[in-house]
Structure 1
């Protein structure tokens, strides 16, 4: 698997997402005194690639990790770093409940049946780890409830709990001096514990919060970094869809018609059609 690296801003190096085994973006944020890592990677192998790139560039290795949420692809690389981890109390609770599991095929099947994981995630874990899965789930060291600030020396990182459909513990990370906003997966639909769905009101609240930062870069964990203007343009159809569902959520035909009219399209693209179903599921 080949990853791309990007010096996103003066203090931030990112490793781009790779979708074959669901590897999200990782970010190293370096101040005068210490380096902080945003998300740990989905495996020690994922983590090692970033460690090697940092070493190649002569960068200080991370002394701290912050997690955006508990999901396996963001947290299962923690054991490779052996540094203190900061996470929301909800993240700590779920990771604590997963510690010590065998991660055998039977164990994965049980986690899917109970809604802890999706079948898609189980398949990605099989691909990432192979047949002999030596997975060590680590509990965070420092737990917060609402928000926490970390001073790296001339660079301040604010990790804030925002929740949302994707995961109740979702957090966003704002690097103040570089004005970079990491959204994690906070704007994603629910993926575990039932059919995928969006709450239109919750989605709009999170979108408004993200827009309010007017960040130089907005980074979603499985996407590509965008300026705020690009991000707003990219999310405009979804924002309109959420607003339409807020009004006509009981009427699929009307929702589709209103969105087609807004976009001036005869037919909606596949991703928006899927989005319609997610939002309608969330409005019931």
Structure 2
């Protein structure tokens, strides 16, 4: 079921059990914009069926927030102008060269080009895989792009991110709403989950310059300003405490500063920043 944020903004909530991220819909007087294409043909079509029940302008644009498979494998279904930043396009181009038959998928899984969950979802939720190929991008931008949907402006911008180097956000000024994709999350390198510590403060700066009160995230759906500020504070305090490859040292520093033990989220963040220190020490 679609969630209605305002008369012009809707979103389909994330389903983490199916690796389905939040999908967004922004409607102007003339056109509509979809934010992220979904993780499969089935995911996209589930979203489109929900949109069909609304009296909204036709979908003209689809923006992909970053080139992780769960955000773009459904993009062909919208019959829309596909918008990506240049780095996102480079990465998705590799997927455009893939074959999606069983044998090829097993090869990609074994070579770690795709993880097992991705392969399972492709097999179950993308029909006609023998002929499946991702459509080409139509608009490729570098830093930012402004769309006018008809009395509804949407600003797309590539930002610095702890998650990927190709993160795009979508900001709707008159609604004070921003779609963040997965930009504020950690990532995984060499089987270690970690936050890119060097990108944390630049990312927060890039996002906080927008006057937003509604934040749509890839795998939490929606947060308000207080929730986002709390998230930033927890990340920053964990980052300050994790200045070495020792989790024990990070915990001691955190407890000395806060006079308490970290909560569950803070402990996860501390581990993630320590892992980043470990990865940097291996370079």
- Give the direction of change, closer, same or farther, for the CA distance of 1:131–1:257 in structure 2 (3 Å limit): farther
Of 13, 33, 36 in structure 1, the residue corresponding to residue 33 of structure 2 is 36
Instruction: Say whether 1:154 aligns with 2:151.
Output: yes
Of 33, 53, 58 in structure 1, the residue corresponding to residue 55 of structure 2 is 58
Gaps of 5+ in 2: none
Q: Distance in 1 between matches of 2:210 and 2:158?
A: 15
Instruction: Give the secondary structure class of the aligned counterpart of 1:196.
Output: strand
- 13-22 or 103-112: which moved more? 103-112
User: Deviations 1:129-163 (Å, cap 9, x if unpaired)?
Assistant: 49967743222111011111111111111111114
Q: Under a length normalisation based on structure 1, what TM-score does the superposition of the two structures give? A: 0.87
Q: Contact 1:118–1:191 at 8 Å: present in 2 too?
A: no
Instruction: Say whether 1:87 aligns with 2:87.
Output: no
Equivalent residue number for residue 67 of structure 2: 70
**1:132-281 paired onto structure 2 within 5 Å:** 135-191=132-188, 194-245=191-242, 248-262=243-257, 264-266=259-261, 268-269=263-264, 271-281=265-275
Q: Distance in 1 between matches of 2:6 and 2:267?
A: 35
RMSD: 2.5
1:14 Cα deviation after fit: 0.7
Q: Distance in 2 between matches of 1:36 and 1:232?
A: 28
Q: Contact 1:116–1:192 at 8 Å: present in 2 too?
A: no
Q: Distance in 2 between matches of 1:54 and 1:257?
A: 51
- Give the direction of change, closer, same or farther, for the CA distance of 1:192–1:10 in structure 2 (3 Å limit): farther
Q: Distance in 1 between matches of 2:22 and 2:107?
A: 28
Instruction: Give the secondary structure class of the aligned counterpart of 2:147.
Output: strand
Q: Distance in 2 between matches of 1:124 and 1:278?
A: 28
Q: Contact 1:148–1:160 at 8 Å: present in 2 too?
A: yes
Instruction: Give the secondary structure class of the aligned counterpart of 1:188.
Output: coil
Q: Distance in 2 between matches of 1:195 and 1:110?
A: 23
Instruction: Give the secondary structure class of the aligned counterpart of 2:233.
Output: helix
| Alignment: residue pair count | 278
Instruction: Give the secondary structure class of the aligned counterpart of 1:191.
Output: strand
1:190 Cα deviation after fit: 1.9
1:106 Cα deviation after fit: 4.7
Q: Under a length normalisation based on structure 2, what TM-score does the superposition of the two structures give? A: 0.87
Q: Distance in 2 between matches of 1:212 and 1:50?
A: 31
Q: Distance in 2 between matches of 1:209 and 1:79?
A: 30
- Give the direction of change, closer, same or farther, for the CA distance of 1:132–1:33 in structure 2 (3 Å limit): closer
